[in-house]
Structure 1
Amino acid sequence: MSNSEGQDVGGASAIRFAADGSITHAYRILDGTNRNCAGEPTPWGTWLSCEEVSRGRVYETDPRGQQSPVELPAMGRFTHEAAAVDPVRQVVYLTEDEPDGCLYRFRPSVWPDLTDGILEVLCQRDNSRSVTWKAVPDPSARRRSTRDQVPAAKRFDGGEGAWYAGGRCWFTTKGDNRVWCYDATTEQVGVIAEPATTQLHTVDSIVAAQTGELFIAEDGPEMRICSLATSGRATPFLSISGHSDSEMTGPAFSPDGTRLYFSSQRGPTGEDGNGITYEVTGPFLSRRPS
């Protein structure tokens, strides 16, 4: 899946691969939206696409292109960045790309129907890792932005990518170059990587390999993807030269975990419409992060 982060020409597309990695088809699955930035696959085979604009929306789309997209207004109207699905607790975590943004949790009324439910915001006391969740009174944000409706809401400096696995939701914040982990079992949140301890710069999208190793795309001119162990140790994994006016986007693994895909948003020209998608094969299943 690939989102289109264009103003007034957003949306999402799909590239279909055969088992050997060869491309068999490519097509659009969402049109008529704005600045679709990040997204997340669901356990039932759909794709959530998020609009990174004020009063942005989330859409549930069909990767096969057979079903029409469904708008999900109950997930709130705000500057959506990414979504991460927790099938154990039957919730969806949502990041907000604002300097004083929040982390949200959506609890559907009937799982896995995402058209109705309760939007909550993470709240945390000072000097404590423990958190609580409080309902956002008006997810439609008709009179006040969602992040300003609950006074106790914790602020995050530019929420970016998010990924759920093994009872934890990892997410990044670009304003302070941090990688966070929310432990859904203990209901605690904390920083696992920051500039003082790693060489990460302008962190953005995040994805996990089947081994638990995290891969983080950076927005900086070095055009890097870095490997991050859950212990917080970061290592440069790859970079693209000659794409200084682009962004590294959308890292994703094939279902069998042997291929990593990612894109250069604007390619070597730095202009919209010239993006390039890459595939990396390697021993991802045998890499053991330390």
Structure 2
Amino acid sequence: MERRSFLRGAVVGTSAAAFGFTLWQGAASAAPAQPGAGPYGALGAADANGIQLPSGFTSRVIARSGQKVGSTSYIWHNAPDGGACFADGSGWIYVSNSEISSTGGASAVKFSSTGTITGAYRILSNTNRNCAGGATPWNTWLSCEEVSTGYVYETDPWGVNAAVRRSAMGRFNHEAAAADPVRKVIYLTEDASDGCLYRFVPTTWGNLSSGTLQVLKAGTATSGSFTWGTVPDPDGSPTATRDQVSGAKLFNGGEGCHYANDTVWFTTKGDNRLWQLNLLNSTYELAYDDSLVVGGGAPLTGVDNVTGAASGDLFVAEDGGNMEICVITPDDVVAPFLRINGQSSSEICGPAFSPDGRRLYFSSQRGTSGSSSGGITYEVTGPFRA
């Protein structure tokens, strides 16, 4: 199996943590990741919320669809999906999309320095199936529509400034976004069985109103070199963006996307893979593939959203599988970090760490009911590795 450098490391500064941008230390290891003993030990018995966690970790419910958030008057949205955290003075904000047709949008929950909920409010309304997205270095949330003619909307986590549609970022079945402040681009995944990986190059970094949409070009193998080709018509009509560039590499159901120090990780749910782009040498490879697990019994299936922790660990949420968030360590060990019981008709969405790295937020999109009106948003607190 091809060798690779898995660039991982530590978060520095609360603003870096807010955007999921990390400085990673290099560690040479074989790809793809294989099952092993996780850094946090075995999962314990389910707690009162039905969540199995390692020793020392606890969970609490932050919000439930159709109910008031904490002591606020705000009613939490249905089908909570992708999310991110933003530093807010000594506290922070967690934003969450709503994957509902026509009325989706996104909401936010504000926390004090002690984790107390101090507010909740809407930051985007009346958009279509807002699935995942990504944070920007200038403190905005990119909320992406998961429909064939979907847009990206740039929103204000504080709810002060009106959301803005960013048409130049392309019209396609958007999923996740990840900002690269070094190359000054935004990477975008496409949730289609023959989808592509894109990057948007703004005319001016920090302003997404204009720029160039490009698509990754590569061969059909699971590793190799890549280039970028410009999409002639980002509007995707009459020809879909993924069909406009000869040699564009097709991916089976693009989902989560995470950038850290010259590396992009993104998932494809159709084949249960985590891909890695090495931006310094323009190569790509597999970081995880459930069909390549030695000895069978893959711990991670239904790969979906992905985020990074201060330790260099990646946390990958399952859509299906057995409702786990799995950790992939810098030495390429994959293991369950948590498991939600009694919610087999749901999926785990929106994993994101608080700026201090001590709390992990995520949602069960359909909860125990299996319906979009049954969504539950959680917080897990404990001794995450520094």
TM class by shorter chain equals over 0.9
Number of aligned pairs? 286
Output the TM-score relative to the length of structure 1. 0.96
Question: What is the aligned partner in structure 2 of residue 227 from structure 1?
Answer: 327
Contact 1:4 1:10 in 2 (8 A): yes
Offset at 1:221?
5.0
| Alignment deviations for residues 215-249 of structure 1 (CA, whole Å, 9 cap, x no partner) | 00001151110001244321001011111111110
**Residue segments in structure 1 that go unaligned for 5+ positions in a row:** none
**2-structure distance, mates of 1:43, 1:282:** 27
**Residue segments in structure 2 that go unaligned for 5+ positions in a row:** 1-94
Match of 1:83, SS state, is strand
Find the structure with the greater CA-based Rg: 2
2:195 maps to amino acid:
G
Match of 1:285, SS state, is coil
Q: Are 1:169 and 2:269 an aligned pair?
A: no
2:371 aligned residue (266, 271, 284): 271
Percent sequence identity is: 57
Match of 1:147, SS state, is helix
Contact 1:221 1:246 in 2 (8 A): no
Question: What is the aligned partner in structure 2 of residue 38 from structure 1?
Answer: 132
1:55 maps to amino acid:
T
Question: What is the aligned partner in structure 2 of residue 135 from structure 1?
Answer: 230
1:107 maps to amino acid:
V
| Alignment deviations for residues 192-225 of structure 1 (CA, whole Å, 9 cap, x no partner) | 1001124311100000001210000001151110
Contact 1:192 1:230 in 2 (8 A): no
1:24 maps to amino acid:
T
Residues 70 and 284 (structure 1), Cα distance of their counterparts in 2 relative to 1, 3 Å cut = same
1:201 maps to amino acid:
T
Contact 1:54 1:77 in 2 (8 A): yes
Match of 1:155, SS state, is coil
**2-structure distance, mates of 1:104, 1:266:** 29
Q: Are 1:187 and 2:282 an aligned pair?
A: yes
Worse-superposed segment, 30-39 or 183-192: 183-192
Q: Are 1:3 and 2:97 an aligned pair?
A: yes
RMSD: 1.1
Question: What is the aligned partner in structure 2 of residue 282 from structure 1?
Answer: 382
Aligned pairs for 1:60-99 within 5 A: 60-99=154-193
2:198 aligned residue (104, 109, 113): 104
Match of 1:225, SS state, is strand
RCO higher in structure (CA 8 A, sep ≥6): 2
Offset at 1:125?
3.0
**1-structure distance, mates of 2:331, 2:176:** 23
Contact 2:189 2:256 in 1 (8 A): yes
Contact 2:175 2:190 in 1 (8 A): yes
1:255 maps to amino acid:
P
Question: What is the aligned partner in structure 2 of residue 149 from structure 1?
Answer: 244
Worse-superposed segment, 101-110 or 215-224: 215-224
Question: What is the aligned partner in structure 2 of residue 117 from structure 1?
Answer: 211
Contact 1:193 1:233 in 2 (8 A): no
